[in-house]
Amino acid sequence: MQVLVTGGAGYIGSHTVVELLQAGHSVVVVDNLCNGSEVALQRIEKITGQSVRFIRADIRDRQAMDGVFSRHDIETVIHFAGLKAVGESVSRPLDYYENNFYGTLVLCQAMEAAGVRRLVFSSSATVYGEEAPVPYVETMPRGTTSNPYGTSKAMVEKLLEDLVSANARWSVVLLRYFNPIGAHPSGWLGECPQGIPNNLMPFIAQVAVGRRERLSIFGDDYPTADGTCERDYLHVVDLALGHLKALPAVLEPGVSIYNLGTGQGVSVLAMVNSFMRVTGVDVPYLITSRRAGDLPAFWADAGKARRKLGWTAERGLDDMLMDTWRWQCKNPYGYR
């Protein structure tokens, strides 16, 4: 299948392009490189031995997107491109709505004009909102999102549902990711956050490699077993493989929603302790106050993806941590 991957030079996109190429699919990447790297694309070529067709373009640029669809015979779009920093979305909401919502709208307009109506969208567990009981199940309604990033994801989900209701020729798969971590086992691809990482795993890795003094654990007074928050961490390669498993689903008309997670919550303290055990490297930490907006604990009901897509997250926590560490050691400053 010929697949257009938007955001293919980013963290999850680059891992997905590797799996697509290795499974024999043909791939075109569109990325504006605002948070992705051409080095990642070169590394994909090194891992797969195949060349990547790359177009540096912005999904908000209708003319550029029309050009992509006219020059390439695209059958399906896997849409990763967007902005993802929760804190930044609070201070720059217009950028988040423009990139994530308007960008998807323009992409869909270009797809409609080209007659390409199959889309796999990167959504997030954040759309379940603050009050949802755990585990999160796809049958639950979207809840109240607490920041523009989360709201932009919920808005795109609604936009795509409306599009499918209006035109039965569209088929859309909404993949709700839990917490992707880890890196390609080769150590050539991984997460490359700009500035101070917001997320737990890159922060732990940067402390371990000596780039940061210590980790702040945001609160140990949550109603969980050890008092720190619990999340459903999954290996980015498993997540990438989830997209391959979703490709047959996008051949069927309508909208389908799948959680991609392991179904298990792991606490922040357990993450730190496991990282130290697996790598043998010390990670100094300090317990600090809670981070605004954090939920105590959530994880996926991963049953639907297993039953309908035949997908389960197979890589365990030790693999996630070891692969993160290999990537961090080989690339202490990421792709820079």
**Catalytic (active-site) positions:** 149
Instruction: Please give the residues from 83 up to 142 whose contact with ligand NAD meets the rule CB under 6 A.
Output: 83-84, 99, 103, 122, 124
Q: Which of 53, 60, 62, 308 binds ligand NAD (CB under 6 A)?
A: 60
Binding mask 169-208 for ligand NAD (x = CB under 6 A): --------x-xx----------------------------
DSSP letter string over 257-301?
Answer: EEEES-S--EEHHHHHHHHHHHH-----EEEEPPPTT--SB--B-
- Interface with ligand NAD, residue 7, by CB under 6 A: yes
Q: Which residues contact 248 (CB under 8 A, 6 or more apart)?
A: 309
Kindly give, in sequence order, each residue whose CB lies less than 8 Å from that of residue 266, ignoring residues fewer than 6 positions away: 230, 231, 232, 233, 274, 317
Q: Which runs of consecutive H residues, i.e. helices, occur in the chain?
A: 11-22, 38-48, 62-71, 86-91, 93-96, 103-114, 148-166, 200-208, 236-246, 268-279, 303-304, 317-330
Collapsing DSSP to helix, strand or coil, 179 comes out as: strand
Of 4-12, 45-53, 289-297, 303-311, which part binds ligand NAD (CB under 6 A)?
Answer: 4-12
Which of ligand UD1, ligand NAD, none sits in contact with 231, Cβ below 5 to 8 A by type? ligand UD1
Task: Give the nearer residue to ligand UD1 in terms of CB position, either 94 or 286.
Answer: 286
282 is written with which tokens? 């010390």
Stretch 22-51: interaction string toward ligand NAD, x if CB under 6 A = ---------xxxxxx---------------
Which residue, 289 or 336, is less far from ligand NAD as judged by CB?
A: 336
Answer for which of 9, 29, 86, 317 binds ligand UD1 (CB under 6 A) is 86
Q: Which of residues 234-273 bind ligand UD1 (CB under 6 A)?
A: 268
Q: Which of 258, 89, 275, 247 is nearest to 181 (CA)?
A: 275
Selected range binding ligand UD1 among 24-32, 35-43, 193-201, 254-262, rule: CB under 6 A: 193-201
Which range in 74-82, 138-146, 243-251, 303-311 contacts ligand NAD by CB under 6 A? 74-82
**Residue (of 99, 77, 107, 123) closest to 247 by Cα position:** 77
18 binds ligand NAD (CB under 6 A): no
238-270: burial string, b at 16+ Cβ within 10 Å, e else: bbbbbbbbbbebbeeeebbbbbbbbbbbbbbbe
CB of 77 to ligand NAD, least distance (A): 12
The residue from 150, 242, 261, 265 that contacts ligand UD1 (CB under 6 A) is 150
